[in-house]
Structure 1
Amino acid sequence: MTPWSRRTARLDDLTHHLGLALGGRPGAGLARRLMLPVSRDTLLRLVRRRGAPAFTPPRAVGIDDWAWKRSHRYGTLVCDLERQRTIRLLPDREPATARAWVEEQP
């Protein structure tokens, strides 16, 4: 942070995490409830400036199917079991699609 900044480093870090977690409009709404005057454009600008955290490859991956529309269209969900985060949504639930996706990953 520079000496003429209008936000402290701590507040800048907090707004960056708000932008990462919620995005522009929802993040600005929560910030308003927390009495932090910040606009949605500012949240998005902070996220773009700092970037996202570096991607670390998962060690344990879970694969499950889920319904885009019940009884009509299904997809495959690939998630990181250690961090409990979604990695990828595949367009169908065919084993060949999931196998092809896993083979192209490092």
Structure 2
Amino acid sequence: MSKSIVNVLMAEQLISDNVHSKYTRKIFNGSLDGPSQEIILIVTKFKCKEISCNQKIFTERFSFINPCAHLPNNIIEIIKLLGLSTSAEKASRIMCKFGINISHDTIIRTLGKLPEDLIKVDKTFTNIGVDDFAFRKGKNYCTLICDLDKRKVLQILPGRSKNDLLEWLKNHPQIKLVSRDGSITYTSAIEEVLPKAKQVSDKFHLIKNLLDAISNM
């Protein structure tokens, strides 16, 4: 074993009591345990004692919350469970009732970080919904594909181009119905890969088109 590796292993075992600084973190616990709570956590930063260590400053870690997070791990697990069981929109509304304001986009990002083998997808789905969304408003657009019958997320594609959707559809020839927005890009991909699949307008755009037609009368 080389001397450098030995030094690294020894450095991992050192416990530093040399305080560098302290700062506060706000943690929102909502009202899951009674009254709505906002916890102020005092976090300590330490200086590393090992001269050869590249990381000079270390921040205190806690078992109940991840670094930089504003919500405890137990609440994150509830959000994941609700998001997988219902939808991101419904999960957002439910959490709001408990004093925790979290957007459906944030919930989708949280679910997107789950291991692929954790989200069990029923390969027999035949009716899907396709729509685009942005992780940041006006930027970083993706394509969201859902099982319309079970109201579960099937896939989040990294873009919203024709090829993004086209390649995914090729692996699912059993699809019979697609609910989508008015995107010509999505329409073209569906017609090319699944010419026999029925395409319908999603509820949001159907109502929007109806209201536009009424207002122009």
What is the TM-score of this pair, normalised by structure 2? 0.25
What is the TM-score of this pair, normalised by structure 1? 0.48
Question: Greater CA radius of gyration, 1 or 2?
Answer: 2
The one of the two structures with greater contact order (alpha-carbon pairs below 8 A, sep at least 6) is 1
- Identify the structure with the greater strand proportion: 2
